[in-house]
Amino acid sequence: MLYGYIIIISSILFLVGYVTGRRIGIKEGIKRGVALNSISLKLESYYNDICPLCKRKPY
């Protein structure tokens, strides 16, 4: 009977840790994605020589 309680409690603790880590990971991934998106837009405008706002060449 004691082993059953230990298994149930350890399973609950494992699932709580998994859910917490997943939420933190998703938030961190969104922050990294936003940062990389701005960098990729700057690189695209630099290499293609196109304004990111109006999509025209500067000359």
Of the chain, the end-to-end C-alpha distance in Å amounts to 80
In the predicted model, is pLDDT for residue 18 greater than 80? yes
**Residue range 27-50, pLDDT digits in tens:** 999 999 888 888 888 888 888 887
In the predicted model, is pLDDT for residue 19 greater than 90? yes
In the predicted model, is pLDDT for residue 15 greater than 80? yes
Domain carrying residue 5: 1-59
Number of structural domains the chain divides into = 1
* Mean pLDDT value across the chain: 89
* 3-state class (DSSP) for residue 4: helix
Positive or negative CA dihedral for 33, 39, 44, 45? positive
Give the model's pLDDT for residue 21.
96
Helix residue ranges, H only, 1-59: 2-48
Q: Which residue has the tokens 């700057």?
A: 42
Give the model's pLDDT for residue 43.
84
DSSP 8-state assignment for residue 51: -
